[in-house]
Amino acid sequence: MDVVIGIDTGTTATKGIAATADGRLRAHTSVHYPLAVPGPGRAELDPQHLIDAAVKALTDVAAACREQGDAVRAVSLSAFLHALAPMDAAGRPLGPLVTWADNRAGAQCDEIIAAGRDKALQARTGTPVHPMSPLTKLAWWRATDPERLRSTPRWGGVKELVLTALADAPFLLDLSVASGTGLYDIHSRTWDPEALDIAGARPGQLAEVVPTTTVLKLRPSIASAAGLPAGTPLVIGAADGPLANLGLGATPAGVAAVSLGTSGALRTVVDRPTADAAGRLFCYALTEDRWVIGGAVNNAGSVVRWAGQSFASGFERPGAEGEDEDERDAALLMEAQSVAPGSDGLLCLPYLLGERAPWWRAGMRGAYLGLRREHGRAHLVRSAVEGVCQQLALVRDSFAAEGFPVTEVRATGGAVASELWVGVLAAALDLPVAIAGTPEGTALGACLLGLHALGDLPDLDRAAALIAIGTPTRPDPENAALYARLRPLIEKSALATMDIVRELDRLAPPLETAAHPS
């Protein structure tokens, strides 16, 4: 069969798949790497790990295609947003990649907000002012190591790193990832002068922005290593969030996509760049005429993983010896199903990694409220799941406030394998939740965008008819009503504790103030 290979570079793994024009998966692989947290507020990746993982994923999937007799028509790329690394003039990394979870730019974020510049910047760039964004990361570098900022030839993120390694092309960036930098005016389609001034960066240090359907070619050495023909097309592709909508068939009006992995997000597609008046939603490109609005939450499966590491010491069950973390998390979620909805009055603010949507407040912290003696481990885990799903429901409420009601949700990610996660999500959103037939929705979206770039899928909404999804889980009406009553308490508690969090931050070890050495 003719296939397109999709390469999706994520925070802790790179996924590779091969898919046909009708959305069928023919091969898949996953290459993992560690996220480094070398100090308070830091979250970094070794750029070479990402490059090596992309090459290995491509090589492994291409080999599987050859064994099946499939012909690879093209390769298409997906990358996670909000990362930044110093690079040389050729786009090769000169230091670690600072990821979306890094919070060192909190002070610079506060300065932008205090100056009253945040809402206008978000309206033009589509990206909230938050420590996650390359805008504030560059502003942090400007404050801590201005000479390094000035003298570094290039600055870029995941897509620039992988593209430079794989493509026989100049230093480029797709419109989708550019729209998530906080540096790019999504209306005028140029690097934003005010954002560049705040960042202290020059346009020449950033990549040239091109449409997500731009077709390049694999480097001859990469094509040879993967056993692919010389000149194999390489579609520059888009960011992971917009591509997840495409890979889930969540492009028609009223259909939203939920990603539940390490972090989470809720997104829906609109036909033009859109800025919400309250500044609660981002707006990132899928193509030049299809845009994704939504909100990302920092904490999803990571909260259950933390619970497993913190609460499951000595957690024993038949066959548990030697179980890995995924198995332990699944066992904890099964245990948590024994707890009634609402966790017997226990409320979790699950902000272990800070939080993004819908408030985009830097420095938020997690908390349990209402803790009593009768609450046990199962309550703590269930309450954490409920807290994450309630956060996504707050994002859905922002859609409705802007005139984009959601009637259907399609979900993907590792967490949706859990019955508890899906049931709580459906009740919190008060919407039916259908699970994608493949867990690799983002990589599949990259394949579909590649087919669109090649002219084989002219109408992206056709993807909705191609994607296999399961029978929707419908919300329990009583649980939905309960979560609706609890949701205002989430928002009230989160905002009310901000002053306390600031006081705690003064007592905690300070975030590092100096730039990481190359």
Cβ-based neighbours of 188, under 8 Å, separated by 6 or more: none
Rounded Cα–Cα distance for residues 284 and 293 (Å): 7
Residues paired with residue 268 on neighbouring β-strands, in sequence order: 256, 293
Helices (H) and strands (E) in the chain, counts: 18, 22
Rounded Cα–Cα distance for residues 60 and 513 (Å): 41
Q: Which of 197, 237, 272 is nearest to 79 (CA)?
A: 237
Rounded CA Rg of the chain: 22
Q: DSSP assignment, residue 283?
A: E
**CA distance to 45, 243, 250, 256, 426, per residue, from 407 (Å):** 38, 20, 11, 8, 12
Rounded Cα–Cα distance for residues 463 and 451 (Å): 11
Q: Which amino acid is at 273?
A: P
> Is the CATH number of domain 2-248 3.30.420.40?
yes
Q: Which of 212, 509, 502 is nearest to 365 (CA)?
A: 502
Q: Is the bond preceding 128 in cis, omega lying within 30 degrees of 0?
A: no
Q: Give the other-Cβ count within 10 Å of 319's Cβ.
A: 9
Q: Judge whether 74 and 21 are in contact, CB under 8 Å.
A: no
Cβ-based neighbours of 74, under 8 Å, separated by 6 or more: 4, 5, 215, 232, 233, 234, 235, 450, 453, 454
Q: DSSP assignment, residue 132?
A: T
Q: Where are the domains of the chain?
A: 2-248, 301-435+476-507
Cβ-based neighbours of 481, under 8 Å, separated by 6 or more: none
Instruction: Please report which helix (H) or strand (E) contains residue 14, including its range.
Output: strand 13-19
Fold for 301-435+476-507, please state it: Nucleotidyltransferase; domain 5 (3.30.420)
Rounded Cα–Cα distance for residues 429 and 431 (Å): 5
Strands 208-210 and 172-174: parallel
Phi first, then psi: give them for residue 237, nearest 5 degrees: 75, -160
Q: Judge whether 421 and 232 are in contact, CB under 8 Å.
A: no
- Is there a common fold for 2-248 and 301-435+476-507? yes
**CA distance to 36, 104, 229, per residue, from 98 (Å):** 10, 10, 35
Whole-number pLDDT of residue 518: 39
Cβ-based neighbours of 244, under 8 Å, separated by 6 or more: 250, 257, 259, 265, 267, 412, 441, 442, 445
Q: Give the other-Cβ count within 10 Å of 137's Cβ.
A: 28
Q: What is the DSSP string of 487-516?
A: HHHHHHHHHHTHHHHHHHHHHSPPPP-SPP
**CA distance to 84, 91, 165, 356, 382, per residue, from 108 (Å):** 16, 26, 32, 16, 36
Cβ-based neighbours of 455, under 8 Å, separated by 6 or more: none
Question: How large is the greatest C-alpha to C-alpha distance in the chain, in angstroms?
Answer: 66
Q: Give the other-Cβ count within 10 Å of 203's Cβ.
A: 12
User: What SS3 class is residue 260?
Assistant: strand
Rounded Cα–Cα distance for residues 12 and 391 (Å): 23
Q: What does each of the 518 residues of the chain score in pLDDT, given as a tens digit?
A: 899 999 999 988 999 999 998 888 999 999 999 999 898 889 999 999 999 999 999 999 999 999 999 999 999 999 999 999 999 999 999 999 999 989 899 999 999 999 999 999 999 999 999 999 999 999 999 999 999 999 999 999 999 999 999 998 999 999 999 999 999 999 999 999 999 999 999 999 999 999 999 999 999 999 999 999 999 999 999 999 999 999 999 999 999 999 888 889 999 999 999 988 889 999 999 999 999 999 999 899 989 989 888 887 665 554 444 458 888 899 999 999 999 999 999 999 999 988 899 989 878 899 999 999 999 999 999 999 999 999 999 999 999 888 899 999 999 888 888 999 999 999 999 999 999 877 788 999 999 999 999 999 888 887 777 887 889 999 999 999 999 999 999 999 998 998 898 888 888 766 555 444 43
Whole-number pLDDT of residue 85: 98
Q: What is the pTM of this model?
A: 0.90
The two tokens of residue 486 are 């609890």
